[in-house]
Every structure is written in structure tokens, then in C-alpha cells.
């Protein structure tokens, strides 16, 4: 599942301190065209939050969100 993919990428990032890790998966133009406008807006908001500076994310096993 997607959460497992992200966790794997985070673990790999911890091992490769020299390279910048890209999280998630690439979406093709074809897949983006299948999204509704609302979904595109949600992706934009997610990207804005994820790329905001000075944000520390802690992932816990109990799935609670902590910042």
C-alpha cells in the first residue's frame, strides 16, 4: 500500500544522506487527466504543506500525526 511505500522511501533516505530522496510516485499526464478538479486542488494543497520549510514530521507506529 501507499503508506508502506512512503515508509520504505523514508528508511532508504536515512541510509542515503548524500542524495535527495523523492517521496511518493510519479503521476503520468494520463493519470492526472483522470482526476477531478477538486482532486487536483487537494494534491496542490498536499504539495504545499509537504514542501513548507521548517516542518518536522514524526511517523509513529500508532498512526497518530505529530509535528
> What pLDDT, on a 0 to 100 scale, did the predictor assign at position 64?
55
The whole-angstrom separation of Cα 20 and Cα 31 is 25
- Residue ranges of the domains in the chain? 2-66
Match 541510509 to its residue by C-alpha cell: 15
User: Each residue's pLDDT tens digit in the chain (67 positions)?
Assistant: 788 888 888 888 777 766 676 778 888 899 889 999 999 999 899 888 878 886 566 777 765 555 5
Whole-angstrom CA distances from 45 to 34, 52, 67 are 18, 11, 17
Amino acid at each position: 500500500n501507499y503508506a508502506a511505500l512512503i515508509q520504505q522511501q523514508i528508511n532508504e533516505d536515512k541510509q542515503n544522506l548524500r542524495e535527495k530522496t523523492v517521496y511518493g510516485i510519479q503521476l503520468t499526464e494520463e493519470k492526472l487527466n483522470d482526476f477531478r478538479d477538486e482532486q487536483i486542488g487537494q494534491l496542490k494543497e498536499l504539495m504545499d504543506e509537504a514542501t513548507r520549510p521548517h516542518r518536522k514530521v514524526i511517523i509513529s507506529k500508532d498512526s497518530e500525526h505529530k509535528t
